[in-house]
Amino acid sequence: MPTDAAATAGPHALDATTLEGNRGATGYPAPYRARVAGRAKVKLGDPFGLKNFGVNLTRLEPGAESALRHWHTLQDEFIYVLEGTLVLVTDAGERELRPGMCAGFPAGRADGHHLVNRGTAAAVYLEVGDRTPGDEAHYPDEDLQHRDGRFFHRDGTPW
């Protein structure tokens, strides 16, 4: 018989297809929002109360970007492609990713990266990232940086 603590601890398993996604949701300032409008994320780790890392099931429609090209000072990122074809764009160039392929981005490596769906069908991937406090994100192609939950221009003025 479960204890009261176990009953309030949340699920141990669930059907991810029953979770709501947040299509096009972004905190990006207005000039950048349209680039991720075809992105839908389902947060898989949150229903379990995971605090040290996040897991998202992400769907990118044709023409959509996963994010603006960026890198993190303190947080690692990992992606695993499940369906479709994506183009990984980094400082080194572009590489096509297909189902079964993965990519990782260690914290502190100033190599801006993002995914673009240049195909004609939706692509689906898992993204995993840690939640280290104090992280900053830098966007090498834009007048943008992110810290303390807010976006700033490169000169430090708020958006």
The per-residue pLDDT for range 38-53, each reduced to its tens digit, is: 999 999 999 999 999 9
Q: Which amino acid, one-letter code, is at 34?
A: A
| Measured distance CA(44)–CA(135) in Å, rounded | 21
pLDDT classification of 127: cutoffs 50, 70, 90: very high
Query: Of the candidates 24, 104, 14, which has an alpha carbon nearest to the alpha carbon of residue 65?
Result: 24
CATH of domain 28-132: 2.60.120.10
Gyration radius from the chain CA atoms: 17
| Measured distance CA(155)–CA(122) in Å, rounded | 37
Name which residue leads in pLDDT, 129 or 21.
129
Q: pTM for the complete prediction?
A: 0.89
What per-residue confidence (pLDDT) applies to 8? 55
